[in-house]
Amino acid sequence: MATSSIRIKKVCEWCGKEFEAQKCSTRYCCKRCAEHAYKDRKRQERKTETETKVIETIIRQKEEAVCRRDYLSVQETADLMGVKRNAIYQLIYRGKLKAYRLTSRVTRISRKDIDDLLGTSLYVRKSKAQTSTTDENGEIISEFYTTKEIIEKFGVSNSWVFAQGMAHNIPKVYHRGKTLWSKTHCDRVFKAKPETPKEDDWISYSDVRAEYNLTHDQLHNYVKYHGLRRKKVGKYTYILKSEIDAILRPPTLK
Query: Which residues contact Zn ion by CB under 5 A?
Result: 12, 14-15, 29, 33
Closest separation in Å from C-beta 20 to Zn ion: 12
Q: Which residue, 29 or 239, is less far from Zn ion as judged by CB?
A: 29
Q: Provide the angle, in degrees to the nearest 10, between the axes of the packed helices 74-81 and 85-93.
A: 110
In 69-106, alpha helices (H)? 74-81, 85-93
Q: Which residue, 11 or 117, is less far from Zn ion as judged by CB?
A: 11
Q: How does DSSP assign 28-60, residue by residue?
A: -SSHHHHHHHHHHHHHHHHHHHHHHHHHHHHHH
Closest separation in Å from C-beta 7 to Zn ion: 17
Q: Provide the angle, in degrees to the nearest 10, between the axes of the packed helices 205-212 and 241-248.
A: 30
Closest separation in Å from C-beta 48 to Zn ion: 24
Alpha carbon 126 to its chain's center: 16
Q: How many CB atoms lie within 10 A of CB 171?
A: 20
Closest separation in Å from C-beta 35 to Zn ion: 10
Identity (one letter) of the amino acid at 62? K
Q: Which residue, 17 or 47, is less far from Zn ion as judged by CB?
A: 17
Which three-class secondary structure state does DSSP give residue 114? helix
Q: Which residue, 33 or 97, is less far from Zn ion as judged by CB?
A: 33
Q: Which residue, 35 or 139, is less far from Zn ion as judged by CB?
A: 35
Calculate the alpha carbon distances from 4 to 7, 24, 31, 102, 253 in Å.
Answer: 8, 12, 19, 76, 101
Closest separation in Å from C-beta 12 to Zn ion: 3
The burial class, CB within 10 Å (0-12 / 13-18 / 19+), for 153 is middle
The burial class, CB within 10 Å (0-12 / 13-18 / 19+), for 28 is buried
Q: Which residue, 31 or 125, is less far from Zn ion as judged by CB?
A: 31
Q: Which residue, 12 or 246, is less far from Zn ion as judged by CB?
A: 12
Closest separation in Å from C-beta 37 to Zn ion: 9
Closest separation in Å from C-beta 2 to Zn ion: 25
The C-alpha atoms of residue 17 and residue 110 are separated, in whole angstroms, by 64
